[in-house]
Amino acid sequence: MILLLMKIKQWHINLFVMLALSACGTGVEKPTGLMTEFIRHPENVRILDNKPEFTWIIPDEAIEQTAYQIEVASSLDKINNNDADIWESGKIPGNRSTEVEFNGTDLKENADYYWRVRIWNNLDKPTAYSSIQHFRTGSIKGYATTPNKFRTALNRPVKRVKKSEGHYFFDFGKAGFGTLELTLKPTHTDTLIIHLGEKLTADHQIDRNPPGSVRYQKTELIIKPQKTSYQLNLSPNIRNTAPGAVQLPDSLGVVMPFRYCEIENSPVELDDNHVFQKLYFYTFDDKASYFNSSDTILNQIWELCKYSIKATSFGGLYIDGDRERIPYEGDAYINQLGHYCTDREYSLARLTNEYFMHHPTWPTEWILHTVPMFYKDYLYTGNLESIAHYYDLLKMKTLCFLAREDGLISVNSEKLNAETMRKLGFSNPEARLRDLVDWPPGQKDTGWQLATPEGERDGYDMVDVNTVVNSFYYWNLEIMAEIAGLLDKKRDVEFFRELALKVKKSINETLIDHKRGVYMDGEGSLHASLHANMLPLAVGLVPDHYRDSVITFIKSRGMACSVYGAQFLLEGLYIAGEAEYAKSLLTATHDRSWWNMIKSGSTITMEAWDMKYKPNSDWNHAWGAVPANIIPRYLWGIRPTKPGFAEVKIQPQPGDLTFSEIKFPTIRGSIEAEFKLNSKNNQEFKIRIPANMKANLVLPGEENTISLEAGWNTIEIQKK
């Protein structure tokens, strides 16, 4: 009955479109959303690829694309006069609308080009041409990823307090990376004393001695009658501007994260027209995504995490926060997924992935995030160039060369030596991998005087053959087998598949306590931790007959992991159908929660749940923004099943929500969806699918999969 209802509504949609077409000729809108090399406004950057890819969004009325035609010209006049002197593709049959490679006359360096596209719809009728997009080339390098542009924002204060004569306090509402800009008309030369900070004290003063790596800076600014505009010259932080840290362009100057400003000794009256928070970030469209629901805590957590993705993008690569400003693979994986779910932007993720090929970091598990990051890039963009270019090095990054006879790996193997470290991308001959599991570690592992003796590892027993490491390893082998197939490398497909099967068998024979039905921390260990069980669940290792015991154990441990570990804990729970428990962790209000970050006063996700769990934490760490991807990808269940979102599975698990709505950006256009319990207490879903995308809805508690069509689909599920 559910399926019949939906098909009737879709038939009416299609009939309406067909009638409209017959009434007004082709009647179909033109393609929109043009991108060149993932860049939405390529006129602002320099395209570095000599064969750039073109992407567009199909108008809804077209339903699907049956052919396309691209024109590229060397001037605006020429393309307006239908003179495509660089490339005239002609009518090309097919539904390819993303990452279509340029195939015209060789592009010149530092030159301007103009392109447009039209498509043929499901009735084989052509649309009008799209608007014209202008792009500029730079230094042509063959294969290269083009960086997008940095943006700035001038934010006025949301709150102003005059503390005394010449002494003012300003709150900008949210922290961000940037500096302070002032517009003043002083009558004489004077010196302002300016305080910037991220945190307030209990008595609502800027914290001048904040804990850990939370930021505060005092500076002085000389103002003169003949000058009206000022920008603070901030002092650099020694650690996050040292070699190894991501260096910002000189044009940006020194930036720091701050929310609050205090100005002393002002000779003029100050209001919100005089003081601005000047923020820097990578190109970001705030309107590309949204989420709302009947749970107000969940809504605030989403906003915190979405903003964290934007606010921490100022470095041009995904970085670990303000303490070091160094890219780490594990941090970047979470950042990448969150970015995909909040904006139609792909260049920053790819730039970061490729950076790691020659700038890897020391944790074993971080190396084992590399292949999944490249694979996610392919799934979300549909573009294989990066994988193909780095394929041989990606094989090394699986650490398969460490495999012993039973397939399992250990970084204490003699096979991990200076030569293999060099092949992994390390330039330091003394570098060695070390197992991480989670961070920070406990006193028992390091002797560090942390606030909690066990750190964030749940008492993990750090033995040589580590369950967490080998679970990540298995995940890599499965993905690498698929990647090899995409590149038609048949021998490698067979090699990685056979090795994955061997590793799975060994893990499930060697690393499980068969009496308890739970995974131990490693070979020979008598200790079972949250991490040793959530990772096998998340990557698909758990046999059916151990599923219940593993899930029961996981649920007994609560949030006994860091903000990073929460990624795999929540993934595993949603994959296992434990939606209500997973949501209870998302919306928890204890001190190991995202709500605690908000309650602490941070407006960007923190490096740890609370300062007491990691005393040197910062307040601007995007690895803490896990809900930015978990809510869209698992609570709403929107995940690509074919590259470039050619096909998507939507498997919502709303738990105890009575209402929710979401906008999810994809390279083919936005998926929009609504859920509510209607007046009959039945579940009602309304889901909009972009044209030229296949979509399958997996209903909550149902085994059936329903195919969705372009446009809005309505499905009602009767309460049993």
pLDDT of residue 680: 86
Domain end among 232, 254, 282: 282
Q: Residues 130, 196: one domain?
A: no
Residue 349 lies in a domain: no
Query: What is the number of alpha carbons within 13 Å of residue 194 lying toward its C-beta?
Result: 26
Domain assignment present for residue 589? The answer is no
Residues 118 and 173 in one domain: no
pTM for the structure as a whole: 0.95
CB atoms within 10 A of CB 35: 24
For the chain, percent of residues with pLDDT exceeding 70: 95
Question: Do residues 34 and 119 both lie within one domain?
Answer: yes
- Residue 657 placed within a domain: yes
Q: Report CA dihedral (73, 76, 78, 81) to the nearest 10 degrees.
A: 120
Report cis status (omega within 30 of 0) of the bond before 267. Answer: no
Average pLDDT over the chain reads 93
CATH of the domain at 702: 2.60.420.10
Query: Residues 200, 83: one domain?
Result: no
pLDDT, residue 24, reads: 34
Does 161 lie in the same domain as 127? no
Task: Band the pLDDT of 463: cuts 50, 70, 90.
Answer: very high
State residue 243's pLDDT score: 86
Q: Are 577 and 554 in contact (CB under 8 A)?
A: no
Render pLDDT for 132-142 as a digit per residue (tens, 0 to 9).
999 999 998 77
Cα separations (Å) of 330 from 295, 326, 402? 29, 12, 21
Q: How many CA atoms lie within 13 A of 411 on its CB side?
A: 25
Helix (H, G, I), strand (E, B) or coil at 80: helix
Mean pLDDT value across residues 697-706: 80
pLDDT of 11 > 60? The answer is no
CA atoms of 272 and 250, how far apart (whole Å): 28
In this predicted structure, what is the pLDDT of residue 448? 72
Mean pLDDT value of segment 375-396 = 98
Based on the fold, state whether residues 79 and 173 are members of the same structural domain: no
Is the same domain home to 111 and 203?
no
| Per-residue model confidence (pLDDT) at position 28 | 67
670 occurs within a structural domain:
yes
Pull the structure tokens for residue 46: 């320099």
| pLDDT of 717 | 86
Do 277 and 217 have their domain in common? yes
In-domain check, residue 117? yes
pLDDT of the residue at 8: 31
The pair of structure tokens assigned to 326 is 């160094």
CATH number of residue 266's parent domain: 2.60.120.260
Residue at token pair 């939405």: 40
Q: Are 229 and 183 in contact (CB under 8 A)?
A: yes
What is the rounded average pLDDT of the residues 579-596? 98
Domain containing 273: what range?
A: 150-282
Q: Note whether 271 and 155 are same-domain residues.
A: yes
Relative orientation angle of helices 370-381 and 347-356, to the nearest 10 degrees? 150
Contact indicator for 189, 277 with CB cutoff of 8 Å: no
Tokens 């390091």 belong to: 446
pLDDT in tens, 538-584: 999 999 999 999 999 999 999 999 999 999 999 999 999 999 999 99
Q: Indicate if the pLDDT at residue 15 is higher than 70.
A: no
Domain-ending residue, one of 282, 297, 312: 282
**Tokens encoding 668:** 């083919």
What's the helix, strand, coil split of the chain in %, to 5? 30, 25, 45
Boundary-marking domain end, from 282, 312, 334: 282
Same-domain check for residues 188 and 79 = no
Task: Give the per-residue pLDDT at 662.
Answer: 98
Tell me the pLDDT tens digit for each residue of 85-126: 999 999 999 999 999 999 999 999 999 999 999 999 999 999
State the virtual CA torsion across 473, 479, 484, 485 in degrees, nearest 10.
140
Q: How many domains does the chain have?
A: 3
In a domain, 508, yes or no: no
Together in a domain, 49 and 109 = yes
Is residue 208, in this structure, part of any structural domain at all?
yes
Quick one: 130 and 250 in the same domain? Answer: no
248-287 residue pLDDT tens: 888 888 999 999 999 999 999 999 999 999 999 999 999 9
Residue 691 lies in a domain: yes
Q: What percent of the chain has pLDDT over 90?
A: 89
